[in-house]
Chains A and B, each alone.
Chain A
Amino acid sequence: MNKIALLLFWLCGPQAIAGITYQKNKAQDKPTIVEETASSIDKATNTGDINKVTARLRIEGASFRPFNLCLADSEVEGSATQLQRKTAQDIHQIIERDLKIVHGFNFVTHQGPKSSGDLFALMKQKGAEGVTTIRLKFRNDLIDATIDHKNLISGKRSIKSFGASVSGQRRLSHLLAQSIYEEYIGPESIFLLQIAAVRRDPSGSQIVLFDFDGFNETVITQGPWQKTSPIFSPEGKSIIYTVITSQGHGIVEQDIGSKHMQFRTRKPGLNLDARVIPDNSGMLMTLSFEGNPNIYRATRTGTILGKVSQGLGMNLSPSVSPDGKQMAFVSTRAGTPQIYVQLLGGNSPATRLTHQGKYNQTPQFSPDGRYVAFTGRDERNVFDIFLLELTSHRVSRITENQGRNQEPFFTPSGRFVYFTSEREGKSKPDLFIATLNGDHQFRLTDASARSTTLGYISPVVRPKAF
């Protein structure tokens, strides 16, 4: 028995030890997720799965730069007189200036005529991204203009035609400039809009109307009274402004193109800053017939409905938001003039927007209601244009170190701000335009060049083209 036990032990002992070792090795060798892998492949190869997957990429950080444009010299079809050639040259210059005002283009120069194919190849070589050529045809006192845009990057070509009388060459030029801008950058209505401003003369002041570029100045008011704080009606057909007569202030409305005006208010004390509510349902204005200047609501014809601002300190310069639900205004309730915002209707409390600077004034809502531009006096006692974002209350600067800048007013697209500035050693206020980031600022008028003018103030933009 013992021998049998010894024999069994002899035979089985080592194998048993080796067997355990083998099992361990075998366990390590064996792929542990074979089953899972196989089923995964099965699912992955299912076409339904792959089609449900959508890849997404996020790309941040663009290159901000102007579009490289070759604006070829305007060509005149047929045999042109010297006057017609001069007109073609003038149109070209107006277009180029228009595009410089709105910025967005870097001009790649082109000298001399060339066939389309050669021109495109040459300009592409020079770095141009687009080539625009204009052909003019004169028929008696009419001009037919054909504008040909060739996008050298996309290869897209578009040709448009415009017509105008010779006397309407400025408008034709603006139309052509707009066509170029919209072709390469995007929609923009500014080119056909007009601006109004108060022109201060030694003998008084008048309201004048300009093209968007500061040219084509036309006086639209008359009489010896001082005029101030103009604003267009929402439909753009009339202009509302304050007159300062020997008997006091009054707010009047005048149809553009007509010399006839109608008084809307004639209260004792200040009658200022009339602002029409966008749906044309009424007006806000600053009146002081009860003592301190306050903001009142009135009907469109001037019947006072009641006080809107709370009677703390002075409240003035209202600007109505595009939705007509709130107003931004200036109040001295905290001791210094600051910008506040308040809901219209009910007795809503006002919220203070500006906390920096001791003198902030002339607030203006942007057309999208996201910003309020205002004039602020900084720590160096210099007036500049600032931009306040309503959601974050973040304030950025549009002008800096360029003289005295005041009275911002947004264009309908909200991309540009008109304002007045005394800069470049000139003491008379002039009209300027700037992009919201302040990178680009452009002088539109030069009052110093005219001895009969003391300057331009209070620019406002006509909301529609006429």
Chain B
Amino acid sequence: MSNIPAELRYAASHEWIKVEGSTGTVGISDHAQSELSDVVYVELPKVGAKVTAGSVVATIESVKAASDIYSPASGEITEVNAELTKKPELVNQDPYGAAWLFKIALCAPDELQKLQDAAAYKAAIGE
């Protein structure tokens, strides 16, 4: 059983987003980090990049493979978690806290309704 905080929303591709005002903070779920295991490298988006929901914005590499990370929302990247470049293992250790990936200024907050709540995500990953 993985940890699925109730206050977050989840993409089918296993990213979570926390919304505060017009800013979203994005990371990957506990289930996703467990599936990846042993994260060794994180490639983050550029601050200022304008992205649409569902586009590839980052890459997380485990020992085995490189995995694309999709933005769950449209907007402009305002901040990235540079700490992950030095400590990629944080993704495994604290996926909802220290291992947030980037912050995004939301330009279409309504689209977040399309994301799953914790219960729907829990069902989607078969837990």
Partners in one complex: no
Chain A contact residues, CB within 8 Å of chain B: none
Chain B contact residues, CB within 8 Å of chain A: none
